[in-house]
Amino acid sequence: MYKILHADKLAANIYRMVIDAPRVAKHCLPGQFIIVKIDEEGERIPLTICDYDREKGTITIVFQPIGASTQQFAKLQTGDSFMDFVGPLGKPSEFCEEDIESLKQKKILFVAGGVGTAPVYPQVKWLKEQGVVADAIIGAKNKDLVILEKEFEEVCNLYVTTDDGSYKRKGMVTQCIQDLVDEGKKYDVCVAIGPMIMMKFVCKLTKELGIPTIVSMNPIMVDGTGMCGACRLTVGDEVKFACVDGPEFDGHLVDFDQAMKRQQMYKTEEGRALLKLQEGDTHHGGCGNCGGDK
């Protein structure tokens, strides 16, 4: 059992939990995810890691209840436990493997949207620990939905923008990127994590601005094991699976329209059957280790 050491609410319908999971905490890196299961009958839910403390042996997760399982998670309190907490899974963020000295020369822009703000945090924190101070934009619909502002301020140069202008800058994250560039900022790379529609439009803009961009395709994952086929996507001319090959990809190569259409189709039994028929043997990614039958 994996004990919830602390549970709180970051905003309306956004929950944070600190879990006692020393083995995951020892090995995880920014960009990776875990699979959590509440009990024997529970669904396997993949969630991106939002923070880790190797000394205390803890992992922090942040989630927005959407389906039945995450609604159940939201009812858990400090002292309760999850039955399974498996990870770390997926590939770490690309920069974790880069030479630190060359990373220090780069101007990196993080773009975090809504609940997607949470998985950006371990990335900016890790970079700060290596002596790299990045710029980050947090975008939220309104003031009440801005999360982790204090935590971000400690580890990066932060810009906050709200769609309705109720707090700090006004407008969507794309407006803020354009404003920063117009103010004279230059970036070598952008990392965008948030709703699919946000990542699509950030990539459209950064392509025009000539800024290479990484995105996290975590939102299309379902079982997180390479078995269900939900997270199939096209990256350039290749078929990839977010849970096995990602979750992070070159955003300028991702076919967002196809990924969003598949995500909708995957919600119904009829849609899943149709996808299976259309995609045949390439429908799923395999066992999650070997890359499967692609």
Residues making contact with ligand NAD (CB under 6 A): 48, 113-116, 119, 139-141, 163, 172-174, 193-195, 197-198, 201, 216, 218-219
Determine which residue in the list 231, 233, 254, 259 makes contact with ligand FES, applying CB under 6 A.
Answer: 231
Distance, in Å, from the CA atom of 61 to the CA atom of 78, rounded to the nearest integer, reads 13
Say which entry of ligand FES, ligand NAD, none residue 222 contacts (CB below 5 to 8 A, set by partner kind): ligand FES
**Closest distance between ligand NAD and the C-beta of residue 48, in Å?**
5
Q: Is 249 in the site for ligand FES (CB under 6 A)?
A: no
Distance, in Å, from the CA atom of 162 to the CA atom of 138, rounded to the nearest integer, reads 8
Residue 130 or 282: the one with the smaller Cβ distance to ligand FES is: 282
CB contact set of 203 (below 8 Å; sequence gap of 6+): 192, 213, 215, 251, 252, 254, 256
**Closest distance between ligand NAD and the C-beta of residue 254, in Å?**
11
Determine which residue in the list 73, 160, 285, 294 makes contact with ligand FES, applying CB under 6 A.
Answer: 285
Cβ burial of 213 (10 Å; 0-12, 13-18, 19+) is: buried
User: H or E element: which one contains 88?
Assistant: strand 84-89
**Closest distance between ligand NAD and the C-beta of residue 274, in Å?**
23
Residue 3 or 91: the one with the smaller Cβ distance to ligand NAD is: 91
Q: Which two tokens stand for residue 207?
A: 């392509």
Number of residues in contact with ligand FES, rule: CB under 6 A? Answer: 16
Say which entry of ligand FES, ligand NAD, none residue 108 contacts (CB below 5 to 8 A, set by partner kind): none
Determine which residue in the list 222, 233, 235, 254 makes contact with ligand FES, applying CB under 6 A.
Answer: 222
Bridge partners of 138? 112, 160
Q: Taking the CA atoms of 165, 167, 170 and 173 in sequence, report the sign of the dihedral they define.
A: negative
Distance, in Å, from the CA atom of 123 to the CA atom of 34, rounded to the nearest integer, reads 16
Which residues contact ligand FES (rule: CB under 6 A)? 221-231, 241-243, 284-285
